[in-house]
Amino acid sequence: MRVDRLLREAAARLADAGSPTPRLDAEVLLGHVLGRERSWLYTWNDHCVEGFARARFAALIAARAAGEPVAYLTGEREFWGLALGTQAATLIPRPDTECLVETALALMPATPRRILDLGTGSGAIALALASERPAWRVVGVDRIAEAVALASANARRLGIANAEFGISDWFSALAGRRFELIVANPPYLAADDPHLECGDVRFEPRSALVAGDDGLADLRYLVEAAHDYLTANGWLLLEHGMAQGEAVREALHRAGYVDVATRADLAGLSRVSLGRRDG
């Protein structure tokens, strides 16, 4: 079957299944099967796809129609211009999190600094920072061994040598270490949040999404615990939900941080709150 017809029929099926981006999903999946860029699909739209490739594409479309994330089906998602490997043990990197990267880069000079990324997952935040600041030494930790292996593999494949990854349940393996900057995108959804039953989130690990205390438990823990792992005047940056900025700022103030603020993402929603250790 020709590429154009294959895409048209696949997009129609995905639209019927409720995909918010049916044509894009179909193009990404067919490009993945054929090992081609999406632009190739338009240039060679009369190319015939048959045999194993057509069967593989049909299987991927069926899986996507059932709701499985494109990033898990292809094993890849772009973040900060980096092609990152993905797997079901980690969250899918999202554009919202680039707000955290932008804020960190704006805060710190490009001179040598020690940076910590807590709950690193695929390594998206750590690798974005390391790629932009070769003089920084970035450490990413996660309590899930599969996540640490994935982040390490992403670093090797991308040739980013100033990032390292290890297993740690938050700060458990970091005794005695200090950092000029600590960043985290912790779980911040409440257990009854309706977003958990929507889209790609349905397939992502709940342990990386849900926290107690209406989604604030891990955020509040990190505010308290990070103080002992920051250098004097070191910064803590936390991604959170759009309605949690006030609660996180209050926690930062109570813990003695100064220069407390919240930054908005590209959609204008509160996304990252930060504070500086005072001395």
The residues of the chain scoring below 50 in pLDDT are: none
The reply to whether 262 falls in a domain is yes
Tell me, yes or no, whether 94 and 58 share the same domain: no
The reply to whether 72 falls in a domain is no
| Of 244, 251, 250, 274, the residue nearest 262 (C-alpha) | 274
Question: For position 195, what pLDDT does the model report?
Answer: 87
Tell me, yes or no, whether 49 and 172 share the same domain: no
Round to whole Å and give the CA distance between 188 and 215.
4
The reply to whether 177 falls in a domain is yes
The helix (run of H) or strand (run of E) holding residue 165 is: strand 163-167
Tell me, yes or no, whether 95 and 8 share the same domain: no
Q: pLDDT for 42-64, tens place per residue?
A: 999 899 999 999 999 999 999 99
Tell me, yes or no, whether 238 and 126 share the same domain: yes
Question: For position 203, what pLDDT does the model report?
Answer: 92
pTM here?
0.92
Tell me, yes or no, whether 60 and 105 share the same domain: no
The reply to whether 265 falls in a domain is yes
| Of 71, 184, 175, 83, the residue nearest 125 (C-alpha) | 184
The reply to whether 81 falls in a domain is no
Q: pLDDT for 153-168, tens place per residue?
A: 999 999 999 999 999 9
- Domain extent at residue 7: 3-67
Round to whole Å and give the CA distance between 274 and 139.
19
Tell me, yes or no, whether 106 and 26 share the same domain: no
Tell me, yes or no, whether 251 and 185 share the same domain: yes
Residue 225 CB neighbour total at 10 angstroms: 15
The reply to whether 229 falls in a domain is yes
Question: For position 279, what pLDDT does the model report?
Answer: 75
CATH of the domain at 135: 3.40.50.150
Name the amino acid, one letter, at 166.
Answer: G
Contacts of 96-99 spanning 24+ positions with Cβ under 8 A:
96/239, 96/265, 96/266, 96/267, 96/271, 97/124, 97/125, 97/185, 97/239, 98/128, 98/265, 98/266, 99/239, 99/263, 99/264, 99/265, 99/266, 99/271, 99/272
Question: How many domains, the chain?
Answer: 2
Tell me, yes or no, whether 178 and 115 share the same domain: yes
The reply to whether 202 falls in a domain is yes
CATH of the domain at 23: 1.10.8.10
Round to whole Å and give the CA distance between 30 and 264.
35
Question: For position 266, what pLDDT does the model report?
Answer: 87
Phi, psi of 17 (to 5 degrees): -85, -5
Block residue for tokens 């920072």 = 129
Round to whole Å and give the CA distance between 114 and 116.
7
